[in-house]
């Protein structure tokens, strides 16, 4: 697998992380609606937990993209020798 293929994969994985972050933002925005009840309070709490999970997933995806970028650099460094 060449470095260009790895770079394309890294860019796509990075895009996925961005998409997950946008999803977390949109999901979190629902919590700002003016709902008033005990059930609404519980829903907001669960919603915040899910947003935190989505952000953790995005961080994991970012780590995978970073690893791919580093791998591409290592391939290129090896090819330059």
CATH of the domain at 20: 1.10.287
The 3-state DSSP class for residue 78 equals: helix
- The boundaries of the domain holding residue 74 are 3-79
Average pLDDT over residues 45-73: 97
Domain count, the chain: 1
The mean pLDDT of the chain is: 93
Tens-digit pLDDT profile for residues 8-21: 999 999 999 999 99
Tens-digit pLDDT profile for residues 22-36: 999 999 998 887 888
**Cβ count within 10 A of residue 61:** 19
Average pLDDT over residues 45-61: 96
Decide if 20 contacts 64 (C-beta within 8 A). Answer: no
């Amino acid at each position: 697998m060449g470095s260009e293929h790895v770079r394309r994969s890294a860019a796509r994985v990075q895009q996925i992380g961005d998409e997950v972050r946008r999803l977390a933002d949109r999901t979190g925005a629902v919590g700002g609606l003016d709902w008033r009840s005990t059930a609404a309070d519980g829903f907001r709490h669960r919603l915040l937990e899910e947003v935190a999970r989505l952000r953790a997933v995005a961080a994991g995806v970012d780590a995978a993209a970073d690893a791919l970028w580093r791998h591409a650099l290592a391939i290129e460094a090896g090819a330059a020798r």
